[in-house]
Amino acid sequence: MVDNFKKEIKLPDIIPIFPLKGVVMFPDTYLPLNIFEPRYLKMIDQAISNKNRLIGMIQPINSNESNDKFSFYRVGCAGKIIKFEETDDNRYLITLKGLSRFSLISEKINDKNFREANIDWRNFSKDFNVNEKSSDFRTLKTTLKKYFKSKKIKANMEAIDTFNDYNFVDQITMICPLANNEKQLLLETTSISKREKLLQTILDSYISEEYISDISKH
């Protein structure tokens, strides 16, 4: 399936990657980015000059900004630039639409000082054939409200009840202040149904921690 799809849209084996801690993207989600570093401005210039306009989002495990040494998680997600705006102060405001997750094979800094990665799409071939089944996510929504309350996060609780996008789980994963490794674990979980169960478990654990903390204070 993925090999045929690669031929149809000419999926590349090498793409530019943008390392950001705490940021994950999923297929068919949208990620706005504010680009201002010179090397990443060059990366965007190169990406929009290509027909596929792809950028890979990936989390570094550890980083040392002084010498630019990173180690990366082995799974990221590629997104296509669907919106682009250049500001008066020479920044780029872009929006990526998630296409597919990928496995990282290797990466290096190119002569333009940004990273390019050799990637493999095969482990996530199902990302190209999304089965868009909506759900009311009743249990998850109830848990999410408790989580927001426990973390004192202001949210429109009534609006949460109206969400029924098939990838609601992925959208919540992207915006919630979960630990980096938790977001990565969710990213690497293959199916949405399994991600829903895992997210439920993670949120429940945070709620339990806050409950125990409150008891210990009294």
The two three-digit tokens of residue 55, written as one number: 């950028």
Place of tokens 């994950």: 24
Q: What are phi and psi of 129, to 5 degrees?
A: -135, 65
Read off the pLDDT of residues 61-73 as tens digits, 9 standing for 90 and up.
975 554 566 789 9
Q: What's the topology of domain 2-128?
A: 2.30.130
pLDDT bracket for residue 77 (50, 70, 90): very high
Contact criterion met (CB below 8 Å) for 62 and 70: yes
Q: How far apart are CA 210 and CA 206, in angstroms?
A: 6
Give 45-59 pLDDT, tens digit per residue. Answer: 999 999 999 999 999
The structure tokens listed for 145 are: 């409200």
CA angle 101, 178, 62 (to 5 degrees): 70
- How big is the chain, counted in residues? 218
Q: What is the pLDDT of residue 129?
A: 77
Query: Is it the case that residue 196 has pLDDT exceeding 80?
Result: yes
